[in-house]
């Protein structure tokens, strides 16, 4: 059997009752046994400033180390103004520097976006993929995951209560496990 792959999960929302965090928690439960998912927090990362490259804040270094140690990265994000939330873009930028030390390099990724709106965060999902090209992140093309009306998918305890979405996300994670196996360098 293949070895267990460590997957860093990045949630693009910082708010306590985030729908996307609930989605991420559901994905942790639905992932196949070949994947071990851990949410890596991004809310404590100071805004990226190139002046700090030589003496980086400890939180940047810790974050970079955690991403480096992961085999793959799963992004779960809302859409802000048809694009990627600033906190998530900041995390991407922090991980990408100093120049030549891009910790995202080659990590097989997948993207899930969720919104109470009908389009399911499509804009954020695809803007994120634009950065992936430059960062050399091989992102799973299919299945795509845009969860619309996502505020209706969870019960009062924050558990996924929609059976169709559960099946879809289970299949999504199986496809992602296969994508990781096919695109891993080790
Ligand atoms: C939003 N929201 C939003 N929704 C959407 O579908 N498309 C968008 O472009 C935006 N833009 C946007 C900008 C800002 C600054 C905020 C705060 C919100 C609404 C958003 O989808 C909603 O607040 C979600 O609940 C955010 O995700 P979390 O925090 O629940 O995971």
- Does residue 119 carry a pLDDT above 60? yes
For residue 27, what are its two tokens?
A: 């994905």
For residue 82, what are its two tokens?
A: 């048809």
Report CA(82)–ligand 1 centroid distance (Å). 9
> Which strand (E) or helix (H) includes residue 28?
helix 19-30
Report CA(101)–ligand 1 centroid distance (Å). 32
Task: Give the pairing of strands 5-11 and 35-39.
Answer: parallel
Mutate to test the pocket of ligand 1, among 10, 25, 27, 80 (most ligand atoms within 8 A of CB): 80
| Gyration radius (Cα) of the chain, Å | 16
Averaged pLDDT, 87-106? 98
- Whose CA is closest to atom 2 on ligand 1? 80
20 Cα nearest atom in ligand 1: 31
- Whose CA is closest to atom 15 on ligand 1? 80
| pLDDT for residue 87 | 98
Statement: the pTM of the whole predicted model exceeds 0.75: yes
For residue 63, what are its two tokens?
A: 């974050």
pLDDT by residue (tens digit) across 11-53?
Answer: 999 999 999 999 999 999 999 999 999 999 999 999 999 999 9
11 Cα nearest atom in ligand 1: 31
């Amino acid at each position: 059997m293949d070895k267990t792959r460590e997957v860093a999960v990045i949630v693009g929302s910082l708010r306590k009752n985030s729908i996307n965090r609930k989605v991420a928690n559901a994905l942790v439960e639905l992932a196949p046994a070949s994947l071990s998912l851990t949410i890596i927090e991004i809310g404590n990362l100071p805004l990226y400033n190139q002046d700090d490259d030589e003496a980086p804040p400890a939180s940047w270094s810790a974050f970079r180390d955690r991403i480096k140690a992961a085999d793959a990265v799963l992004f779960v994000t809302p859409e802000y103004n048809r694009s990627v939330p600033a906190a998530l873009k900041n995390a991407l930028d922090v991980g990408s520097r100093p120049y030549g030390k891009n910790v995202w390099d080659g990590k097989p990724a997948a993207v899930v976006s969720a919104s109470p709106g009908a389009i399911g965060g499509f804009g954020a999902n695809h803007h994120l993929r634009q950065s992936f090209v430059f960062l050399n992140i091989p992102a799973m093309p299919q299945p795509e995951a845009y969860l619309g009306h996502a505020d209706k998918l969870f019960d009062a305890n924050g558990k996924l209560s929609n059976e169709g979405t559960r099946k879809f996300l289970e299949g999504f994670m199986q496809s992602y496990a296969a994508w990781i196996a096919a695109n891993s360098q080790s």
